[in-house]
Amino acid sequence: MLSFLIENMGLLCSRNRHLNQADTEENAQAAEIERRIELETKAEKHIQKLLLLGAGESGKSTIFKQARHCIKLLFQTGFDEAELNGYTSVIHANVYQTIKFLYRCVSNVDGQLLHDGSKELAQSEKDSSKYVLSSENKEIGEKLSEIGGKLEYPRLTKDLAQEIETLWKDPAIQETYNRGNELQVPDCAHYFMENLERLSDSNYLPTKEDVLYARVRTTGVVEIQFSPVGENKKSGEVYRLFDVGGQRNERRKWIHLFEGVTAVIFCAAISEYDQTLFEDENKNRMMETKELFEWVLKQPCFEKTSFMLFLNKFDIFEKKVLNVPLNTCEWFKDYQPVSTGKQEIEHAYEFVKKKFEELYFQSTAPDRVDRVFKIYRTTALDQKLVKKTFKLVDETLRRRNLFEAGLL
């Protein structure tokens, strides 16, 4: 009997030891989980989530590429050689697509009359002659159009580049290009056509400027993460910049990114006041931008979110506004020119800027008016200007954080 009691007492002590050990391990695991949660919470406080939004063709993806190359808020390195090489096929595709598009605008393709003396571009029989290609260039156009219609494009050779240049310089193509605002001619057209010889070199390596001009439609979500350097590095801040597709069918992907956003960078292409959407030729691009900006401003999750409005493509705007009346756009119908030259350009820009400011305050609830709202004039292809703009964005967000912490 005594031996039985001793044996059971031993088992009980052993069990207690195992239970105590299990409790200790469990407590250690719980403590480790708490420690990790605390570390992640502290880390999240230093993460600045920047969301890049805008309608299709607003230039936001070019801004994003600038961020990848030189901005990383001046932080870290730009494109390496492998990345630059990766853009060769994209740039060559842009060349083929551009010349095919321009050719189709002046030629009878697949038995369907598009713009060969067509009603869309020609206002009279006299006008129609401007849009007729020479017979020699029609043959070249047919060949290039066939190449441009393939799923995979050949590498651009010197011979093909010469044929493209010949077609590009045809008066009918030039007349069509000059009315590109009425069509869907990409902004990169002139740049690539003027650099054909370099682009077709057998040892061609894209430059950072080539990459910025390259057109790849954004689908899904693209992200880069970067940190400041120099004096600002000590802050521990980490920036996450998200770019999403701007076309209508891509916007459904925006919503899941709206939570926890520090700042929305909204790109508006101010040069597109006389153009229509790629996906809806009955819709003015500026009116689409106005409605989209208004919708984004009213999202409940952006109650305390800072807004940075990039009035983009100013370089195109300043050339266009002296030739195409700003009041062509319904939103700007009350605009009245007051001067000429540079003074008129500034007057027109300030008018557009004021329109966006008014829209911001009209679309912002009274309890949200104190959130940060800044407007920047940008040219996405101008590296120095975009670099300077992002430095200002960085400083603005830092001041906001200091203010919220009661240090300002």
Q: Which residues are catalytic?
A: 57, 62, 215, 243, 247
Say which residue the tokens 């305050």 belong to. 361
Give the three-state DSSP class for 74: helix
314 is in an annotated binding site: yes
For residue 170, with 0-12 CB atoms within 10 Å meaning exposed, 13-18 middle and 19 or more buried, which class applies? Answer: buried
52 is in an annotated binding site: no
- Strand-pair category, 306-312 with 263-269: parallel
CB burial readout 223-238, b (16+ within 10 A) else e: ebebbbeeebeeeebe
61 is in an annotated binding site: yes
The single-letter code of the amino acid at 246 is G
Partners of 241 in the β-ladder: 50, 224
172 is in an annotated binding site: no
Instruction: Name which of 215, 206, 211, 106 is nearest 155 in CA terms.
Output: 206
284 is in an annotated binding site: no
236 is in an annotated binding site: no
4 is in an annotated binding site: no
93 is in an annotated binding site: no
- Strand-pair category, 112-113 with 108-109: antiparallel
60 is in an annotated binding site: yes
Q: Residue 164 and residue 178: Cα distance in Å, rounded?
A: 17
194 is in an annotated binding site: no
315 is in an annotated binding site: yes
Instruction: Name which of 229, 226, 261 is nearest 244 in CA terms.
Output: 261
- Strand-pair category, 373-377 with 306-312: parallel
The single-letter code of the amino acid at 266 is F
243 is in an annotated binding site: yes
Report the 10 Å Cβ neighbour count for 405: 8
332 is in an annotated binding site: no
227 is in an annotated binding site: no
135 is in an annotated binding site: no
CA 56-57-63 angle, to 5 degrees, is 105
216 is in an annotated binding site: yes
Q: Residue 176 and residue 185: Cα distance in Å, rounded?
A: 9
406 is in an annotated binding site: no
Separation in Å, CA 298 to CA 241, 283, 287, 303, 396? 21, 22, 17, 8, 22
313 is in an annotated binding site: yes
Say which residue the tokens 């571009």 belong to. 121
List, as residue ranges, the binding site for Mg(2+): 61, 218
Q: Which residues are annotated as a binding site for GTP?
A: 57-62, 187, 212-218, 243-247, 312-315, 380
Binding site per annotation, positions: 57-62, 187, 212-218, 243-247, 312-315, 380
